[in-house]
Structure 1
Amino acid sequence: MKAYEKQRGARREEQKELQRAAAQDQVRGFLEKEAAIVSRPLNPFTPKTASSNGADDAQPGPSTGPTGKDKDKDKMLPSFWIPSLTPEAKATKLEKPSRTVTCPMSGKPLRMSDLTPVRFTLLDGSVDRVGLITRSERYVCAVTRDSLSNATPCAVLRPSGAVVTLECVEKLIRKDMVDPVNGEKLTDRDIIVLQRGGTGFAGSGVKLQAEKSRPVMQA
């Protein structure tokens, strides 16, 4: 929202600057036209010999060099090495952000009652926060005590918010459909699969399909 308001203020200033520049161009054009008009009166008592040198006494015309605005444009030369400074580059227009927080999956508005607390079980409860950061294995499954990592498929049990491995869900929890932490009944909707983070392998958790091409005989 702050970025949108900042861009909005910049656009207002830009419009005011364009209006001022247009007014200055009109005044400058009027003055140039007035200066180009030659209206010097002739003196009837001046001898012809003096009037023959009128070409030498002619006043210089208005300068055709670049004005101050054009000089400023010359200083702002485009850069072809930076995409945002090329002549074809346009400023990105920001849309007004919505004040409603929506679900990234369904797009529906989120409410506090729709949120589920997620509780990770620490590997060692005596370790403080600073010591936890330096460890590679920090959390474990709430049921089997198996260590959790980015490569471990996990799920959240909605009634208790406990994080367990999918292997535990398939082998133990789905048999009775009971939350092992608080003993409440479970449904398929109460088992929420967590999306894993980066594992360093491009095909992690994805079904890969390879195609092998061979030469084909053509008639």
Structure 2
Amino acid sequence: MTRHGLNATNSAVYSYHEKKKDQKAAGFGAEKIRMSKDAIKGFDCCSLTLQPTSRPVITPQGYIFDKEAILSFILEKKKEYEKKMKEYEKQKESEVEEMKDMAAAEKEQMKRKFEQTEKSIVTKRIGDKTQGETSGVSNLTGDKKRHMPSFWLPSCGPQAKKTKVEKPDKTVYCPMSRKPIKVKDLVTVNWTIARDPDDKKSLIAREERYQCAVTGDVLNNATHCAVLKQTGHVVTVDCVNKIIKKDWRHPLTGQSLTEKDIIYIKRGSTGFSSANEELMSERHRPSIAIA
């Protein structure tokens, strides 16, 4: 039994450092990476274009869009609905015509069956012979058809069914929250520009572009913000908790507020970016078992 001292002879032969080195070289095992700053959508950027907004609006769920982008999205969805609805109506009309044809064919078949039954009632003489008795038995006599079990013949193969078009949904859903979205529910956002006389850059080139409308705190991707629905002013969540919720009054206009008048802005969380606890990206690769 060896001692746990300077001579650590009881350690594993395949060390952790060697395992990680081989994983990187061979390409097996889970791979994790932390997203950089460029992978996070800006708090004031549109959730569709991922660019700074010129006419920002916010949905009741807290997602910011450029007004032109979201209106174009809603209009496109309505055009898509109208196109699908025309296809659905065309399908319904074809089904009605098909039902009429089937009813007419069934009526004609019943008529022929009745006529055939009436003809078979006629009494035949005993001495008379049928056509099958005189010329031999055949499966092609009369109305009989020869059925061949040949799957390669088109007439014997299965018939493909037409793809049925489902009735389209008229509701337009938000591309982010998947909740119903309407133009009347969009609230215009009024950003308060950060006043910095020493910064001569343009508004888009600045890192600190906007500030809280009440406290004057600079807003960034790490700041929790909210929009006051009545006026569209953007304030910090700390301002909401410490100032607004004391008397439920708008600090700038004095209007009474409720919990429904406060829309909390969603940070990040687009199809191409993340925020907060979702900054770690992980990819699972084939693993190797080590004995």
Question: Which category of TM-score, normalised to the shorter sequence, fits these structures?
Answer: 0.3 to 0.5
Higher relative contact order, structure no. (Cα contacts within 8 Å, ≥ 6 residues apart): 2
- TM-score w.r.t. the length of structure 2 is 0.33
- TM-score w.r.t. the length of structure 1 is 0.42
